[in-house]
Structure 1
């Protein structure tokens, strides 16, 4: 959700698609190619071995033989990120959202056409602390699990457990993407909903504790000053 700042939707979507494009090959009939134009940036950092200014040696998803690409949108709301980003980058999208009201709106209104076309598959009503992958139809299902503006509602313990469960939901070579607000220092707690805005340092501590390797990070551009800095992180499980 954009907190009433609807004008941020397009720069948010464009930056996310460009970030994804380093690791994901969109469907051949996708409109993403007209949006994505990756370029190097001083706010971009690639960890590990690189070739060129912005491309890692990691093979792009979906891997050969893995079938159609599939992504899980976590904390999806009514499906804004699904509609504006993920549908353009993947063949199929599943969603999980804690609010039954949002799930109903996604199914019956906002994503109705995408569900009928088969691009959007399951829309599950659940909190992330209760999502299970192992032993379910979601085990080994996803090329990517995408988490945007939702993980601040999880405590440290729940967040680490969630990341570890996510590993069971990934196909071989699958990745986790995180896009979240960044506090300058430590953790800022919202007095209204008790959500936490973690600093970049804290996020990276969470990734290490969760057994995730940071492949790339990037600052969201095009947002007004005065807001929290927003960063995107591309992660893969450490074998």
Structure 2
């Protein structure tokens, strides 16, 4: 199977695909809107092990560090004392489903980045309108993750957590490694990256329709190492119907 890096239209093809997806919860979840609740419940439970939310509320959690792996969290919950209001970045946010159902419940402020203009418009004008007006959502940027930068912008050193869910399969391996490395510049001291993605059993599976790659757990963990990240914990999402890819947090 040809590696996606060989396809020069990889990113533009993905953008064309998502431009034709309805800006709805069902659209975001590929017609499986019923997954939204168990997804949110598991994510909030997993986050609660690491984050002290404004109101009490499990993704792969990764700390930006070159240290060796340690599966048991032995650290204060974020945000760190004196760090100010907690902030999280929702990457590949779509219309803001994860922001509304998960991140806004666990953090004081949420920023979003999303590549589709239609989804950004829907988030701003309707789906997250209340959160934007209240100041819970502070910024919504339109950009692909392969182009997102932190250093030298208002997002440098801004976030307690950077959240990536069902989006990283759109990045080539080298671009994903580079994205994680740039994310370090967006984190506060002690900040963390959370990843929630489908997992192939072995190697990777290409979806030609939306230009995405479902990586195995082994491949994802190799990428974490290459990006200089330290894995703190991982867990399989429960409560999804059979026949789907496993989802690893």
Fold match, TM over 0.5?
yes
CA contact (8 A) 1:144 1:170 kept: yes
2: CA distance between counterparts of 1:31 and 1:185?
37
How far apart are residue 194 of structure 1 and its match? 2.2
How far apart are residue 31 of structure 1 and its match? 5.7
Superposed counterparts of 1:115-154, under 5 Å: 115-154=132-171
| CA offset digits 1:39-65 (Å, max 9, x no partner) | xxxxxxxx6274xxxxx2111100000
CA contact (8 A) 1:140 1:170 kept: yes
2: CA distance between counterparts of 1:66 and 1:153?
33
Matching residue within 189, 199, 202 for 1:182: 199
Taking structure 1 as reference, are residues 74 and 201 closer, same or farther at Cα in structure 2, changes over 3 Å only? same
Q: Provide the secondary structure at the position in 2 that maps to 1:102.
A: helix
2: CA distance between counterparts of 1:2 and 1:31?
26
How far apart are residue 2 of structure 1 and its match? 1.2
Structure 2 residue 29 is matched with structure 1 residue 7: no
RMSD (CA atoms): 1.2
Structure 2 residue 33 is matched with structure 1 residue 16: no
TM-score by length of 1: 0.87
Unpaired segments of 5 or more residues in structure 1? 37-46, 51-55, 233-239
- Give the aligned partner of residue 43 of structure 1: none
How far apart are residue 104 of structure 1 and its match? 0.4
Ranges of 4+ aligned residues in structure 1 off by more than 3 Å: none
TM-score by length of 2: 0.83
CA contact (8 A) 2:155 2:186 kept: yes
Structure 2 residue 107 is matched with structure 1 residue 90: yes
How far apart are residue 204 of structure 1 and its match? 0.4
Does 1 or 2 have the higher relative contact order (CA < 8 Å, sep 6+)? Answer: 2
- Give the aligned partner of residue 39 of structure 1: none
Query: How many matched pairs?
Result: 212
CA contact (8 A) 2:150 2:183 kept: yes
